[in-house]
A and B are shown apart, each in its own frame.
Chain A
Amino acid sequence: MNFAQALVPHFGRRIEVFMDNRFLQGTLHGITDGILSILADSSVYSEESGLFSIPVANLEFVRILVG
């Protein structure tokens, strides 16, 4: 199993995406062809919201939040 396949069961879950120097929080929308899609919402740590597509190669890690 690879990284993208491991995230498939968690579509629709609340996630945090960590990059080198950026952080997004939102809902896991999908992951295809090495691109992770997140429907971000603004928070204390990130004011940006909307659908973001992030190359998996640029990810540091993805946290699947509880609940």
Chain B
Amino acid sequence: MMDIQSCSSPKKRSCRRRRPKRRLVRKHRSLKKRVRILSHRQRELNSAIHTVESQNASLTSQVGSLATQVASLTSQSNSLAGQTGTLGSQLASVRTEVGAIGANLGAFAAQTVQLQREFVSLSAEFSQVQSRVESLADPFVATRTMLEGRVGTVVTIETTAGPVAGTLIAVGIDFVEILEPSGALVFIPLGSVDAFA
């Protein structure tokens, strides 16, 4: 209104007509521009709202899952607490048994020493019995072993039927073989050997 009243040119009438129109046009343009900006802003806000809603749904789901996991963990924790109690009880029992064993350890050690002594004694007896059994199983082992060391040498074997002299050429399981100077072979059972030289 001020602009309209202050227009002092001769063309006041046109001035009066144009200026308000121009202002309105500018205002209209400005408003359109603002509307566009606001529309754009609205779209952005709508998008952001959509994103926030999506995140909210995801978070809600995660919160549900976490709640389930918390419930499970709580249950497991309760179970572990129960097991811990049981193990504690068992531990106390084991400690008691360990204490009892520790008290008997000295007696066990003494018995072990005694058993070791008896084992040594029995081992010696076993060796003697084993030697005796071997002797019974093979009564000629000593004679045969000695004569085996004389193979190839001249020996004289004493028997009840008389002596046999010659080169000892073989010693068998239960006999010796002698080659006499005449070329004759003599087979003598080891059980008939009274002595040899």
A-side residues, CB < 8 A to B, are 1-3, 5-7, 10, 18-21, 23, 56-57, 59-66
Q: Which B residues are closer than 8 A to A by beta carbons? A: 157, 159-162, 164, 170, 172-175, 177, 180, 182-189, 191-192
Closest to B182 in A: A66
A59 engages B186 (CB within 8 Å): no
Q: Interface majority SS on A: helix, strand, loop or mixed? A: mixed
Report Cα–Cα, A18/B186, bound state, in Å: 10
Could you say which of A3, A19, A64, A65 has the most chain B C-beta atoms within 10 Å of its C-beta? A3
Take A1-B172, A61-B192, A66-B182 as given contacts and tell me if A6 and B161 are in contact as well, using a CB distance cutoff of 8 Å. no
CA distance A57 to B174 in the complex (A): 11
Chain A min CB distance to B172 (Å): 5
Given contacts A1-B172, A6-B175, A6-B177, contact A64 B187 (CB under 8 A): yes
Cross-chain contact A2 with B174 (CB below 8 angstroms): yes
| B172: A residues at CB distance < 8 A | 1-3, 5-6
Q: Please provide the 8 A-B residue pairs with the shortest distance between their CB atoms, ordered closest to farther.
A: A60-B161, A18-B161, A3-B175, A61-B188, A66-B183, A64-B185, A60-B159, A2-B173
Name the distance in Å between B157's Cβ and chain A's nearest Cβ. Answer: 8
Which residue of the partner chain, among B161, B173, B182, B183, contacts A61 with CB atoms under 8 Å? B161
Q: What chain B residues lie within 8 Å of A20 (beta carbons)?
A: 160-161
Q: Which residues of A contact B162 (CB under 8 A)?
A: 18, 60
Chain B residues, Cβ within 8 Å of A63: 180, 184-187
> Chain A contacts of B191 at CB under 8 A?
57
- Which residues of chain B come closer than 8 Å to A62, judged between CB atoms? 186-187
* Chain A proximity of B186: nearest CB distance (Å): 5
> Are the CB atoms of B188 and A60 closer together than 8 Å?
yes
| A65 and B184 in contact, given A2-B173, A6-B175 (Cβ under 8 angstroms) | yes
Q: Inside 8 A of A57's CB, which chain B residues have their CB?
A: 189, 191
| Pair A60/B160 contact, Cβ less than 8 Å | yes
Within the complex, which residue of A7, A19, A65, A66 is in contact with B187, where a contact is CB–CB below 8 Å? A7
Contact A3 B189, beta carbon cutoff 8 Å: yes
Q: In the complex, A38 Cα to B184 Cα: how many Å?
A: 17
- CB of A3 within 8 A of CB of B161, answer no
Q: How far is the CA of A23 from the CA of B159 in the complex (A)?
A: 14
Of listed A2, A56, A63, residue having the most chain B CB within 10 A: A63
